[in-house]
Structures are given as structure tokens and as C-alpha cells.
């Protein structure tokens, strides 16, 4: 049985002092919850990772550490980049790969997404590969074709036994930061299609174990319904993860759904 993952993507928010405050608040609230089959992760900016890791480890908080990106290069003349081995040394467990903001603003194409996913997995971390269609693609009925291309390219050549090292997040671009989430039915359909693509590439057992997330304006108001889809195993949460209260309200809905 798959567990749920509720992951908070802080994007370009929270300096390290604000991160200390948010993690403290989150840790306190989580101590009042019985997480059961729900795992919680946060993806702070690079400059917060060491701080968050120390707090999580020191206070034994039930929070997994995630990063928002890394280079597909190991080392060398790549000014401003951070490598997968550097993240692994900080006990980072999850790395977002190919978030739509990286694809759109930092020229991350399918090939680089694939190379980055491989680099993350090689270092023993979990690649959270983000895929999703634009509004125009959706209107032209291309959603499933776009998802198939992005997923197939990202996982091509990965070993069959990669189930624990891979998460795929369906994040329709028109839903990110807009306040308009996909319907639960659309999220389920997309995740089901993604699972079929994984099955055809990596086999039935892996496809059955890989966790698929939905992301895009998730909130406590829609979390339960979104998570009720049999192929939706969690949520990638942007805006609502920036406050401990709103993030925990979503986690509480996930606990209710996975009881
Ligand atoms: C995201 O950017 O990954 C995201 C899901 O953002 P939001 O929840 O703010 O739509």
C-alpha cells in the first residue's frame, strides 16, 4: 500500500531566520498530529537547507528534507549551481526536478530533466519529477500527450527497481499559483495516465509502487477530494506551505483521507 506524501515547495521565500521560525511552528503543530501513513516534506531554498536539516535532526521532527532543484553536473565551472552530491551530503531526501518554473524560466528541457533525475537517484535521493501541461496545450486537448512525452523522457533508461527513488508530480501550469486547482477527476485522470506510461517503461510492479502527486493551488478546501483519487498519492503545495497553519490543515486532510 502506498503512503501519502505532502510536500511543501517554498520557492524563493523564507530566509534562514524565517525558516527557523516556520520549522519550529511546523514541528510544534505536527507533534499534535498522528501522521500514520502520511509523510511530510519541505523544499526550502538552498540557503536554508543546512538550518532546516539541523532543526529536523536535533528535534527529531517528522519532516523530510527536500531541495527545489540541482544541477545535472557533478562539479566544475557552473557558477551558481549546486550538485546532487552536495545535497546528498546534507541528508536531503527529495529533490524537485523540472518544476515548471525551472523549465519556463531557466531553460530546463526534457533532456536536462532526465539527466538531473538520474543524478539525483544516483546519489541515493528521490527525484520528484514535475510534469504538466500549459493552458494552451490543455485547450488543444494535448494534456495526455504532453504528460506522456515528459514522463517517458524523464524516466527513459532508469532501472526497473526505481520505485522508491522516483516520485512524479502532476502540476498543470494553469493551476500553479492561480487559486484554480484541477478538479479531483482531472487530477486522477492525469495521474492514472502517468502511471500507465511508467508501467509501459518500467513495468507493473514499479508503476504500482511509485508515488504520484498533484500540485497546483492545493489547499485544505480541496485536499481531501484531490487525494481521494486512487492514483493520487500526495500533494505538492506551494503557497499554502508558507504558513505552518495552512500547511498543517492540508496535512490533517491527508491524515483523514489515509486513515
Ligand atoms: C508549485 O509551484 O509547485 C505549486 C504547487 O504552487 P501553488 O500550490 O502555489 O499553486
What gap in Å lies between CA 120 and CA 94, rounded to an integer?
A: 9
pLDDT tens per residue, range 219-257: 999 999 999 999 999 999 999 999 999 999 999 999 999
Question: Which residue has a Cα nearest atom 4 of ligand 1?
Answer: 238
What gap in Å lies between CA 112 and CA 41, rounded to an integer?
A: 24
Question: Which residue has a Cα nearest atom 8 of ligand 1?
Answer: 238
Calculate how far, in angstroms, residue 2's C-alpha sits from the geometric centre of ligand 1: 23
Calculate how far, in angstroms, residue 89's C-alpha sits from the geometric centre of ligand 1: 27
Contacts of 222 (CB under 8 A, 6+ apart): 181, 184
Question: Which residue has a Cα nearest atom 6 of ligand 1?
Answer: 238
For residue 2, name the pLDDT band (cuts at 50, 70, 90).
Answer: confident
What gap in Å lies between CA 62 and CA 195, rounded to an integer?
A: 28
* Nearest atom within ligand 1 for CA of residue 219: 8
Residues annotated catalytic, as ranges: 99, 171
Tell me what pLDDT residue 182 has. Answer: 98
What average pLDDT score do residues 163-185 get?
Answer: 97
What gap in Å lies between CA 204 and CA 183, rounded to an integer?
A: 27
Answering whether pTM is above 0.85, one says yes
What average pLDDT score do residues 8-34 get?
Answer: 97
Q: Does the structure show a pLDDT above 90 at 1?
A: no
Q: Grid coordinates in use for 55?
A: 532543526
What average pLDDT score do residues 121-146 get?
Answer: 98
What gap in Å lies between CA 34 and CA 11, rounded to an integer?
A: 27
Calculate how far, in angstroms, residue 215's C-alpha sits from the geometric centre of ligand 1: 6
Calculate how far, in angstroms, residue 246's C-alpha sits from the geometric centre of ligand 1: 13
Cβ atoms of 217 and 179 within 8 Å: the answer is yes
Cβ atoms of 248 and 241 within 8 Å: the answer is no
What gap in Å lies between CA 246 and CA 253, rounded to an integer?
A: 11
Domains and CATH numbers, the chain: 4-257 (3.20.20.70)
Q: Residues near ligand 1 with C-beta < 6 Å?
A: 9, 171, 176-177, 215-218, 236-240
Tell me what pLDDT residue 39 has. Answer: 98
What average pLDDT score do residues 190-218 get?
Answer: 97
Amino acid at each position: 500500500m502506498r503512503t501519502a506524501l505532502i510536500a511543501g515547495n517554498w520557492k524563493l521565500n523564507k530566509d534562514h531566520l524565517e525558516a527557523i521560525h516556520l520549522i519550529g511552528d511546523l514541528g510544534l503543530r505536527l507533534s499534535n498530529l498522528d501522521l500514520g501513513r502520511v509523510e511530510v516534506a519541505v523544499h526550502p531554498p538552498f540557503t536554508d537547507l543546512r538550518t532546516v536539516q539541523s532543526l529536523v535532526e536535533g528535534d527529531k521532527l517528522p519532516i523530510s528534507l527536500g531541495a527545489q532543484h540541482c544541477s545535472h553536473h557533478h562539479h566544475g565551472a557552473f557558477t551558481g549551481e549546486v550538485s546532487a552530491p552536495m545535497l546528498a551530503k546534507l541528508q536531503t531526501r527529495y529533490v524537485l526536478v523540472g518544476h515548471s518554473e525551472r523549465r519556463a524560466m531557466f531553460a530546463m528541457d526534457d533532456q536536462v530533466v532526465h539527466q538531473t533525475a538520474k543524478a539525483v537517484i544516483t546519489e541515493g535521493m528521490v527525484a520528484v519529477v514535475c510534469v504538466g501541461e500549459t493552458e494552451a496545450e490543455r485547450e488543444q486537448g494535448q494534456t495526455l500527450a504532453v504528460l506522456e512525452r515528459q514522463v517517458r523522457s524523464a524516466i527513459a533508461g532508469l532501472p526497473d527497481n526505481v520505485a522508491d527513488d522516483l516520485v512524479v508530480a502532476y502540476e498543470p501550469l494553469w493551476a500553479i499559483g492561480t487559486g484554480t486547482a484541477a478538479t479531483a477527476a482531472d487530477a486522477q485522470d492525469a495521474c492514472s495516465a502517468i502511471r500507465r506510461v511508467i508501467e509501459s517503461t518500467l513495468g507493473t510492479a514499479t508503476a504500482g509502487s511509485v508515488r504520484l502527486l498533484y500540485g497546483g493551488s492545493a489547499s485544505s478546501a480541496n485536499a481531501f477530494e484531490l487525494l481521494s483519487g486512487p492514483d493520487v498519492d500526495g500533494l505538492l503545495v506551494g503557497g499554502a506551505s508558507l504558513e505552518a497553519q495552512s500547511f498543517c490543515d492540508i496535512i490533517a486532510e491527508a491524515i483523514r483521507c489515509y486513515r
